[in-house]
Chain A
């Protein structure tokens, strides 16, 4: 347990002050009733089971940041890293800045930010493993690295960049509010270390000595409505109307009138001449590109196989292909297994994969994984029953038929449901570029476009080899393919329009899409349009013979190329509503530069390989 200094100065102690009953979001500051069963318990910090009963132990605490005073001396970050024994590539607290004006009427606003121990902790809700807990003690949101399996989803949903995914250790860690210091009546290490008179700490909604404001916003800080963060600000110095960030993120902040109103996030035209190459599409989320596309194709292919006969496509009935049909099902199962293994290896700690189901109540990740698991099991059962009828010969025929029907329908329902939950994963307020219904149209669009081709083309080849006609069959399957591509296209059009209209980080990401990634973006759009036209022509012309097959294969190639490029863009482009960085630290542009030029190979650069 933490032991305080014998000569601990006053500034390090949390003062006792009057606080209101409710915070600015209407929530009670008292987190427990007087005789609540949770009261009077030890936090068991590092095995110390003593109970430290401070006067405000069950009230929500939070940081206070006086933006007028921060000098970016890094004392808070360093005190934090020293206390928590963090390697250079991690930081629970970071200082970035925004700046504006014209020399010498220049102003720089430094912002020191860690976890805000929010009223509505999106990290906690998003975490599939339930590694997070919001404690009644001080309202601290604590994360347990021993539970975490390193999916990094909390780092996606947090608007403040508080959870830190450690690529070396393979798990997330974050600010623990220094609850060990709080139990001793001391402010967290960062607040006690502050040299500028900027960072402070106490019961939320209380103003430190010599401070006036209790603001919930300052320029550069994300919309507090996302999580109701427990941080309050003072910012009284007049700022220029426009503030920019020193990092490579193409956003700036602008208010409508000088000296009045909130700052809005706007696109910053970096005027860069740099154009991303295809390598720019690579990211640590590459496994997710493969995982999502395969899963969507597999669900679509299964739907094609299972529902086809219902729509009069007798060609697709299992009886017609005693070998090809089960082989195809096994292939789908194999593909999906591969996709699932890939997504599991994407975890920092793959051996903890089973924890993915732990938070069905809140986490879209848990729900996706659970529904996908159910789909996978139905698909397996359906495949087994269809492929090895002999295995089930001892059962009454009706039962076997019933089981096949039940598992088939089970997979047909849970598959699309899993894709719906998959799309919910990306509906993150802190990632505006993703937070759009286009995610759903893209996922279902890919299901409709890729699935029928994945099921239909091998069968067409099989038919061809048996000397049977397959042209009409593929022309029929072209309908869902065109529908899927159309759905995706409509989503993309609406997405582009809405991103521009909404402004902020979404617009900035879209701006990157049409500038830095402009040629790739356009190539994808053209490919998509071409694919729609090409498939339509094929459907009408219904070519036959080997050349017909080649034409269909080419159409599939176009569709896959558009899908992979589009999905890669989706992951690469997103700009979170995180805090501004500095010129080096937390600057994605510099980090990329350091990694490509080898500077990052020196450990003291504070960067490690961005693997996952």
Chain B
């Protein structure tokens, strides 16, 4: 000791008494971090840490993962099934048999009276792939409704649609290792430091080693924009114009990869003709990026040995979401940047298992990237499941965003919601409330009893959360990773797989089909169904996945490990084996700011929260960083309105209003405000959510609002507080 006590006291440091670490995979975003949960002597989960040898996160975790062990005991969990006849009556507790019988009766009743499709199912991106597959089997093969979709329509639908249009199939072709090879990185509407901190870390480490240029397209000066070499503060909703203009310059100046275009793409002429109309001067008038910068970026991108583009909701959540993805694919196809190290179109996915639902849930068709529209696919699955192929519809039914209007007008009478919270997450939530109260029968299956959508349910089924069960997740780079069962479900909560199997048993057709009881048994069916396809799981087993800390598909039966990239051979999934170059005409159909509603309303997420805060809103060490909604607003615009930093303001749109705390910052442009989307009764009371014509994904990030100061601060505080159950 240098100062202080003469006698050395023993040093005491918190010791959580971990005796066992269990391997699992993070259940928040789709980065897919391997995580170990520490159990103490009593078997209680007390600690989390990254897995050092896992390629994805290499020992690191973001703050949500660091506290993930606190999920199991967080407040608001459901631990017993609940029932009621009307949504405005109090719930009464029931047994699982009571609840499940009621679910089966409800479904059968509605279907017999109003037709099979009058009962809809909206699922999620949060549960295990095996559960998705089982739910798909139940929905398509037993219940037989064609109105079955996932909340991925709110997040990745545009990426799926864009991949399918360009390459003939869903499936991100790249991987995180591409950062190690890229000579240029274009990030459009993706704020890695906030949304995907671990992917940011991988990118940043690679950039520190090799120093490639980073170009960020985002109207806000996000942390990533601040780190960028070039920041393009694009006008909201005009990414397609920017992408067309970049292609214009590349073709105009002969910077394209002729050989690649000729060998691997189709329809180049129509594409070239269309982008010919988007010269940088005209484009600059629309997208707000000056012509010199457009030319410069195009030259840098085309001139790079390998260039990659990443994007997230900035592209997906717009009226041109699918077109934006196609535009990115176009850019990479004409520069020969698909399927090679450092050259790719990599959608950075949102939910832990958004990929799993895309691959196996049958929401958009049939399992394993099969489609209802193909007779061969219908027959193959029908015979595998042992049902009549005619039981399948011949084309896909409604998307989530079309299911709600169909409820509104009475075509759909019953709904089963699994691990998603449309009361907070859908645009225009005043309309969603009106919609949900019309339902004859609503089943909410969720780990949290206080999930806001439960306000309108007739049956609540308490589900196990994350590592209270076992199964696999697929991450952004197609890596299938294992969630080992760490602790028992809380109270009487049950794994979603068990719930689906139990519902299936209550249908005649369900008893005729095999529903494996264990996740690993289901995984066996998936392996069989994927053998020899692009989406090939056949070389994977649970043990192999755990020992390799995740395996990227395709992983054929006899191969040691997975494949980092798709389309490396230049063969695509369209029947002709080529990628499509698709012309993208632009029509601005957004609700733009005007005299009455003079501000753009932008929304997005913050690092400490996940989705609608059902999980992160209850963990104090996360929630404390933003416990209540706020708005970023430019101080140059607030002054004349009398709006002050740290006080409340009211926003009004053509749909509704919201009160938020005001954070004045030059991070946002003067004609835009930004509000995190996580909070109930907040930003989505304002949003319009025009739908993308291809993906049916809502444009959450573009609508118009007006803003006024709040005279009665106390009332605003009260109103805000009243909307916060957590």
Contacts and interface: CB of A to CB of B under 8 A. Distances in A.
Given A75-B66, A124-B4, A134-B1, A102 B666 contact: yes
Interface string A24-59: 000000010000001001011111000000000000
A225 interface: no
Interface stretch (B148-156, B172-180, B193-201, B440-448): B193-201
A582 B53 CA distance: 34
Contacts of A83: 14
A75 B62 contact: yes
A86 B623 CA distance: 14
Given A73-B62, A102-B666, A197-B205, A5 B52 contact: yes
A80 to B, nearest CB: 10
Interface stretch (A386-394, A450-458, A600-608): A600-608
A199 B99 CA distance: 52
B10 A44 contact: yes
Given A103-B634, A585-B625, A605-B624, A195 B717 contact: no
A365 B715 CA distance: 44
A256 interface: no
A130 interface: yes
Interface stretch (A140-148, A522-530, A559-567): A140-148
A121 interface: yes
Interface string A57-101: 000000000000101111101110111111111000000000111
Interface string A152-191: 0000000000000000000000001011100000000000
B12 A46 contact: yes
A7 B223 contact: no
A69 B200 CA distance: 12
B226 A193 contact: no
Contacts of A88: 620-621, 623-624
B67 A248 contact: no
A82 B48 contact: yes
Interface string B606-629: 011000000001111111111110
A146 B12 contact: yes
Contacts of A107: 226
A364 to B, nearest CB: 16
Interface string A93-118: 00000011111101110000000000
Interface residues of A, number: 93
Interface string A321-356: 000000000000000000000000000000000000
Contact of A584 (B62, B619, B624, B668): B624
B221 A106 contact: yes
A604 B724 CA distance: 11
A133 B16 contact: no
A86 B201 CA distance: 26
Interface in B1-47: 1-5, 8-16, 47
Interface stretch (A404-412, A422-430, A586-594): A586-594
B607 A44 contact: no
A585 B623 CA distance: 10
A428 to B, nearest CB: 18
B101 to A, nearest CB: 37
Interface in B45-62: 47-49, 51-53, 58-62
B134 to A, nearest CB: 34
Contacts of A179: 11, 13
B3 to A, nearest CB: 4
B624 A147 contact: no
A6 B4 contact: no
A306 interface: no
B680 interface: no
A48 B646 CA distance: 49
Contacts of B14: 83-85
A246 interface: yes
Given A82-B48, A594-B627, A605 B63 contact: no
B620 A46 contact: no
B394 interface: no
Contacts of A69: 204
A142 to B, nearest CB: 6
B667 A604 contact: no
Given A603-B620, A605-B623, A196 B2 contact: no
8 contacts: A5-B59, A75-B61, A78-B66, A104-B233, A108-B223, A589-B646, A599-B721, A605-B628
Interface of A: 2, 5-9, 11-12, 31, 38, 41, 43-47, 69, 71-75, 77-79, 81-89, 99-104, 106-108, 121, 124-125, 130, 132-136, 139, 142, 144-147, 176, 178-180, 192-193, 195-197, 210, 246, 248, 270-273, 362, 582-585, 587, 589-590, 593-594, 597-599, 602-607
Top 5 closest pairs, chain A to chain B, by CB:
A606-B624, A88-B620, A7-B52, A133-B4, A78-B63
Interface of B: 1-5, 8-16, 47-49, 51-53, 58-63, 66-67, 193-194, 197-198, 200-201, 204-205, 208, 221, 223, 225-227, 231, 233, 607-608, 617-628, 630, 634, 636, 644-646, 661, 663, 665-670, 714, 717-718, 720-721, 724, 726
